[in-house]
Amino acid sequence: MRLLFIRHGEPDYEKDSLTEKGFREAGYLAEYLAGEKIDTCYVSPLGRAKDTAAPTLKRKHMRAEECHWLQEFPAKVIRPDKGYKINCWDFLPQDWMNVREYYDRDAWASTSLMQEGNVLEEYNYVTKSFDALLEKHGYVRDGNFYRAVKPNRDTIAFFCHFALECVLLGHLIGASPMVLWHGFCAAPSSVTTVMTEERRQGTASFRISRFGDVSHLYVKGEEPSFYARYCETFDSDELHD
């Protein structure tokens, strides 16, 4: 089975929609995905994800099932340098990279900050919902791997959000989402591909074969959006925090 995790186009957060550039990105994405075999689509309930999915669904004459748990990962914590609640996936490097637990797939949500924000509760809700969906498609979670009960070559597309995508990828490969949130960057409208591997009959694992692909933008001469990134050097005019 193949999973496509598609981040929404450049967002207009105030309207929960897309910017003019974001709508162009969604159109270019639809052109690219027109040549891709997609069997089933799922979409976040948030407007920016649905607006990104719409051109693809129209072009492929498909409908997407809306899943509440596909919305952007909502858990918030009181970030050390802010003193007020902010997204749990938005930390300064110096405030998390020296904390051993954040690198551990099982302990990352055990710190006092994460516990106060009930982050693990939200994480469990998302990952259990995801596993229930995968079971519908033939793959049943069994500890740290999956049983291929009804193995298949279907392609499933998820139109969602960057932090949520990292939660699901970390769950599939056994990694702390903190590492993915801060060590990877998926530009708006990017496509990440995950494939099953069944090296022994009945036992499957998932492997990321492509992360954050924006080739559909480059072929149109469209620069990827800067959203989700921060300044390359501090003396630039790019986003600092």
Q: Compute φ and ψ for 155, nearest 5 degrees.
A: -115, 125
Task: Note whether 16 and 47 are within 8 A (CB).
Answer: yes
Cα(185)–Cα(174) distance, rounded to whole angstroms? 19
Length of the chain equals 241
User: Which of helix, strand or coil describes residue 38?
Assistant: coil
Look up the pTM and report it: 0.96
Residue 208: enclosing H or E segment and its boundaries?
strand 203-213
Task: Note whether 167 and 126 are within 8 A (CB).
Answer: yes
Query: CB atoms < 10 A from the CB of 91, how many?
Result: 22
How does DSSP classify residue 174?
T
How does DSSP classify residue 94?
G
Per-residue pLDDT of the chain (241 residues; tens, 9 = 90+): 999 999 999 999 999 999 999 999 999 999 999 999 999 999 999 999 999 999 999 999 999 999 999 999 999 999 888 888 999 999 999 999 999 999 999 999 999 999 999 999 999 999 999 999 999 999 999 999 999 999 999 999 999 999 999 999 999 999 999 999 999 999 999 999 999 999 999 999 999 999 999 999 999 999 999 997 888 888 888 777 7
Q: Compute φ and ψ for 68, nearest 5 degrees.
A: -60, -40
Amino acid at 80: P
